[in-house]
Amino acid sequence: MQSLRKLKPGHGLDLQDIAPPPAPAAGEVLLKVKSAGVCGTDLHIDEWTASYHFLAPALPVTVGHEFSGVIELLGSGVSGLAAGQLVAVRPSVVCGRCAACLAGQPDACTSRRGIGVMRDGGFAPYALVPARNCVVIPAGIDAEVAAMAEPLTVSHEAVRTGGVKPGDRVLVLGPGNIGQGIAIFARAAGARQVVVAGHGDAARFEVLRKMGFDDLIDFAATGMDAGLAPWLKDSKFDVVIEATGAGAVIKPAMAALKIHGVLVITGIHAAPVPIDLTALVRQHQQLRGSYRAPESAWPEVVDFMRGHQETLRHMITHRVPLSAAYEGFALARSKVATKVMVQPELEAAP
């Protein structure tokens, strides 16, 4: 079968013919992949940026960690799942042996391995995954929407980490897939205003408008300070959530926060970022990091999908066959797309 793989350290990925996965072992299931989303993490693995060198010992590996699939085979000892069920895959595989796992706290596992990062993932027709990492998708939710479960849990966790509450003004920096999800969950949390800012992101702004967001700032036309000025005239923001990975936005983001405001960092930054701690202290501001969502958040996000599928579907802007997966990477990198779905069953254009 074809599989998009990282073969060695350095730039690039390869579409390679490999053997299909073996029959599932005890506690595993074999999935027929339906949709797999292209994520910023995949772009970083492709580019081999500094913060992803940790996966070198796992190479070669099939990438892709945002995916849904239909269960084909179940290994021994698997309960609560059945062949033919559509599931989303929680990509963080816990060890089950460390002190946290043994204490029943898998979210604190110290030896986790990521599907699509440290073990084979979803840019392939079939994937072998632990049964405990499968989240059953209710009837009526499309496979491609289900494939967005992982990034939506990241967005959900960012809003929870920021403590967004009814009446808050929220600024989201970065209008990509994670930023759009943050905007959706901030609105659902009762924020009275959600402002989303980007830099030359016209296509992604159009997606946001389709989802009902009109308070948008394009810093490409103004720069950050001038672009934010009209929005700070009467009051500053209660919560600012960064989803860019660009260190240059942190200083203006803190300046846009009110006293006792909260700045949440979700972007992966390739280099250290200087912070004015004196200003943070004097303004009683809080800086919080947000990354992986707890396992308990997944059912909440799946339930949210059930009632908001039509809104969420706007985020899927491109669909490509597996044979054109690398073209999907180019679309995601160019900001033309919000979410590119790689669909192994989709035929390539003639």
- pLDDT bin (cut points 50, 70, 90) of residue 312 is very high
β-strand pairing of 61-62 with 28-37 = unpaired
The torsion region of residue 77 among left (phi > 0), alpha (psi -120 to 50) and beta comes to: left
What would the DSSP string read from start to end of 175-201? Answer: -SHHHHHHHHHHHHTT-SEEEEEESS-
Q: Is 134 helix (H, G, I), strand (E, B) or coil?
A: strand
- pLDDT bin (cut points 50, 70, 90) of residue 348 is low
> For the chain, which residues make up each domain, given as ranges?
2-148+315-342, 152-289
pLDDT of 253 reads 95
pTM: 0.94
Mean pLDDT for the chain overall:
95
pLDDT of 182 reads 98
For the chain, give the number of residues: 350
Question: What are the tens digits of pLDDT across the range 232-265?
Answer: 999 999 999 999 989 999 999 999 999 999 999 9
- Of residues 167 and 335, the one with the higher pLDDT is 167
pLDDT of 79 reads 95
CATH class of 152-289: alpha beta
- pLDDT bin (cut points 50, 70, 90) of residue 303 is very high
> Is the model's pLDDT at 209 over the cut of 90?
yes
The rounded distance, in Å, linking the Cα atoms of 340 and 40 is: 11
Question: What are the tens digits of pLDDT across the range 49-88?
Answer: 877 888 899 999 999 999 999 999 999 999 999 999 999 9
> Is the model's pLDDT at 132 over the cut of 70?
yes
CATH of domain 2-148+315-342: 3.90.180.10
> Is the model's pLDDT at 350 over the cut of 60?
no
pLDDT of 262 reads 98
> Is the model's pLDDT at 94 over the cut of 90?
yes
Which residues are known catalytic residues?
Answer: 41, 44
